[in-house]
Structure 1
Amino acid sequence: MTHSQESDETLASTTPAAPAPENATAAENAPETVSEAPAEGTTAATPVPGPSAVPAPSPSPAAPSPAAFAARPKAPAAAPVAAPAAPVAPAVDLAEAAKFGRAEEDGHVFLLLDGEEFPVGQYPGASKDEALSYFVRKFDDILAQVTLLEQRVEAKAPTTDMNKTVAHLREQLGERTSVGDVNAALARLSALEENIKALGAAERASHDAARSVELAAREAIVAEAETIAAGDPTTIQWKVSSARMNELFEFWKQAQKSGMRLGRATEEGLWKRFRSARTVFDRHRRAYFSQLDNNNAVAKTAKESLIEAAEELAASTEWGWAAGEYRRLMDQWKSSPRASRKDDDALWARFRGAQDKFFAARQLANDALDEEFGANLLVKEALITEAEALLPIKDLNATKKALQSIRDRWEEAGKVPRNDMQRVEAGLRKVEEAVRAADEDNWRRSDPEAKARTSSALNQLEATIAGLKDDLAKAEKAGDARKVAKATEALAARELWLEQIQKAAADFS
């Protein structure tokens, strides 16, 4: 018995009693042992594997997440490709199948390709149609994978494993273990390769664009941090800037966590710049607030010294002197450096409290004096009324005597309330000035020396005026305009003096 006959008997012993229906799937129709395409010169039976599993589409990666602080477009996410439900194997079109293969009575099946026949396997114990249909369905399984790949390409799914799938399908077609239009399937695979190449280029362009956006966003974080760190420490608003720097750090962490990867070298370079900016900013902030604390301590020391002096004065009853000291302390307070707002407010409250204590005590003392001096005020107001009755003056000597009596009683009356002091003093002063003016007028009229001085002045002035008139006449005659102007000015002044002296002389007559 030949090797081939032994194989045939073995296969016959394992062939099912009846072949599976033609409309079942290839996996359901497969017998437990089927002879595939043997090596040339042998018909050894080999196990027939089930149809190749259709590779599930790879999940689309999430679109890159940009830094939270900047609005950045996301890379377009590929539309998910739903894996089609496993189709029920249709009935094989035997007339169409005959174009690409044939079966023999013993179940051997051959592939017709480019005018040549290639053995693909054997399906013993079945009819020729059933054997041919089995290997056609295997080809249909390959086409189903091709179709699924075409759908993924059309849906622009990620191309990660597409080229590997094409290579696997080419390998399956090259094994010659199925019956169908191999050339058409290979042409579809070639077209797929071109489409996958184009899709891959688009993916890379999209990835590059998304990476550019992510890189720009990350650089914007770094640039803003560097700008803040480069600010003048004396003008920076530390509270606002510190909050913004912390916010930028949170943006950075979020970008690192969920943003697109930029490459280790790029990310490390950006991080070094960002970390350096934060370090500089923190150093400037610590230095600024350290200096501020020193200034605050100096200001507090200076103002606490002023407060001690103010608190010592608070119990003083030397009202006038102490009030002047408080004015001096207030001037020093205004010229002192400011402490922090909280400390300055607390220090000012203590300083003002000492002042208030002193002035409240002085006010109480003044109120007590005002109450005590109220009776004196009534006496002096009556004396003012009595003094005003002396006007107008009729008898100067009698008026002077009466005024002196009023003055004596005025001094005996004592002090009046502070708020009334100026008013009552002014009332008596008015009468005193009127009496003094009358007395001076009377003296001027009766003074013999004054009369003599007035007469001598009149004589001298009249002689001077006569001389000036002669000078004026000569200047006019000579036509000397400068001398005319000078003589005219001098003559007008002397004549005015003469008029005043003549009036004074009339008062003595």
Structure 2
Amino acid sequence: MSSDPWGRVDETGTVYVRTADGEQVVGSWQAGSPEEALAYFERKYEGLVVEIGLLEKRVRTTDLSAKDAQAAIDHLREQVDAHHAVGDLDALRGRLDKLVATVEARREERKQQRARQSDEARKAKEDLVVEAEQLAQSDQWRAAGERLRALVDTWKGLPRLDRKSDDELWHRFSHARSAFSKRRKAHFAQLDAQREEARRTKERLVAEAEALSDSTDWGPTAARYRELMAEWKAAGRAQREHEDDLWNRFRGAQDVFFAARSSVFAERDAEQSENLKLKEELAEEAEKLLPITDLKAARAAFRSVNERWEAIGHVPRDARPKVEGRMHAVERAIQEAEEAEWRRTNPEARARAEGLTGQLQAAVDKLKAQIEQARAQGNNARADKLEKELEGRQALLDQALKGLQEFGG
């Protein structure tokens, strides 16, 4: 009989292994010595040790699934429980039990990880749906369209959820994209209609602008061109392929008209500048009549100047007030001289002036006599009062005398 710490061989060749539950039969050995029998079954044990060690490493360092790991553990446990090896089988069972606990912990960890990933994917998809629904109301057609396409790529890169949740979120996401596409299509259809209407309006404006281009009715035509320009701006833009051509025709028609008007106005300005020189010379000639000493000669000379003035055409508008003002000043001086002459030669006015002067002179003489009398009587208070009254009457008399001089008297 042969033995070691974990097993023995009896006289009949039966091999036993020692366990916590007592000895268990490993097998029988008839081919050689008991030592060879123990060595054979010890090698079986070492093979199990190696296999368990490899499995522990795979579980620890690879992404071996819990299902495959458990199957490998069960297979090794069957071999250990079969007692076909000599060694510390209880230790191997303990290692397998620890490995089961490790696999279960890994299974739970992966379950929680998948749950977190699922929650993150759900949150990410819900965020995509919310953003897509907001973009569906946007009028920033290009930017919103590009962003929606980017959201689709992001969605494709996210894990799938459970079918019900994934389908519901995708339905909302797809509906938002469809709503945006429908609004964008309607917008551009309306824009096309507006541009077509703008094209028709601008073709009408171009036709009228071209018809007016050879007009010589400068003021009203220029005003109409301003109205046409306002209508052009209000019409909006036509299609790109028409807008530039229509604008070139419209602008070209205006250029023809305004170039012709500028040419005519340049000639007119030159003529008016020459007219201004002539009128300034006449104004200078009229101013030489001042001051007026011979009213009749001044009146005749001014009439001659004025007739020549009226024969001259327009002058530049900004120079008109000054040159006309010079003529008006001479004209007013002649009128004032005529009024003075009339007052001087008017018999009725002269008689009224002489009558007033006589009345004032009599009143002054009377006041002087009264003052002398008051002084002689010693009534100085009355004399002072009368002198003040005399001052007022004397001033009126002086003024009347001055007016009477205008009549040559």
TM range (shorter): 0.7 to 0.9
- Tell me the distance in 2 between the aligned counterparts of 1:246 and 1:451: 105
Q: 1:331 to 1:390 in 2, by over 3 A?
A: farther
Residue 278 of structure 1 aligns with an amino acid whose one-letter code is R
Contact 1:108 1:131 in 2 (8 A): no
For 1:450 and 1:223, locate their aligned partners in 2 and report how far apart those are by CA, in whole Å.
106
- How do 1:53-452 and structure 2 match up within 5 A? 98-103=4-9, 109-113=15-19, 114-120=21-27, 122=29, 124=31, 126-155=32-61, 157=63, 158-231=65-138, 236-253=139-156, 255=157, 259-334=158-233, 336-339=234-237, 347-371=246-270, 376-412=275-311, 414-415=312-313, 420=316, 422-423=318-319, 426-440=322-336, 442-443=338-339, 446=342
Q: State the 1:375 CA deviation.
A: 5.2
SS of equivalent residue, structure 1 residue 285: helix
In the comparison of the two structures, how many residue pairs are matched? 355
Taking structure 2 as the reference length, what is the TM-score of the superposition?
A: 0.74
Whole-angstrom CA distance in 1 between matches of 2:231 and 2:330: 48
Is the Cα–Cα contact under 8 Å of residues 199 and 239 in structure 2 kept in the other structure?
A: no
Whole-angstrom distance in 2 between the partners of 1:347 and 1:450? 81
In the superposition, relative to structure 1, how do residues 160 and 438 fare at CA in structure 2: closer, same or farther (>3 Å)? Answer: farther
Deviations along 1:74-104, one digit per CA (max 9) or x if unpaired, are: xxxxxxxxxxxxxxxxxxxxx9x72222346
**Residue of structure 1 equivalent to 2:362:** none
Aligned partners of 1:146 and 1:189 also within 8 Å: yes
Cα distance, 1:128–1:396 mapped onto 2, change above 3 Å? farther
Instruction: For residue 170 of structure 1, give the secondary structure of its aligned residue in structure 2.
Output: helix
Range moving further from structure 2, 402-411 or 107-116: 107-116
Q: Is the 8 A contact 1:444 1:450 kept in 2?
A: no
Residue ranges of structure 1 left out of the alignment (5+ in a row): 1-94, 459-498
**Does the CA-based 8 Å contact 2:209-2:254 persist in structure 1?**
yes
CA distance in 2: counterparts of 1:179 and 1:289, whole angstroms: 86
- Counterpart in 2 of 1:88? none
TM-aligned CA deviation for residue 192 of structure 1: 2.2
Measure, in 2, the Cα distance between the counterparts of 1:179 and 1:450: 170
Gap change, CA 1:435 and 1:378, over 3 Å in 2: closer
Shift of 1:224: 0.5
Q: Work out whether residues 126 and 169 of structure 2, in 8 Å CA contact, stay in contact via their aligned partners in 1.
A: yes
Higher helix proportion: 2
- Aligned sequence identity (%): 35
Q: Distance in 1 between matches of 2:194 and 2:333?
A: 65
Q: Secondary structure at the match of 1:161?
A: helix
Call closer, same or farther: CA 1:189–1:340 in 2, change over 3 Å. Answer: farther
Once the two structures are superposed, the pairs formed by residues 1-16 of structure 1 within 5 Å of their partners are none
Distance 1:184 1:375, change over 3 A: closer
Instruction: Give the Cα–Cα distance (whole angstroms) in 1 for the partners of residues 39 and 292 of structure 2.
Output: 156
Report if aligned partners of 2:29, 2:37 keep a CA contact under 8 Å in 1: yes
Consecutive unaligned residues of structure 2, counting only runs of 5 or more, are: 357-395
Cα RMSD for the two superposed structures: 3.6
Q: Measure, in 2, the Cα distance between the counterparts of 1:138 and 1:260.
A: 47
Partners of 2:333 and 2:174 in 1: CA distance: 92
8 A Cα contact 2:295 2:334, kept in partner: yes
Once residues 207 and 380 of structure 1 are traced to their aligned partners in structure 2, the CA distance between those partners, rounded to angstroms, is 104
Instruction: Tell me, yes or no, if the aligned pair for 1:109 and 1:121 is still in contact at 8 Å.
Output: yes
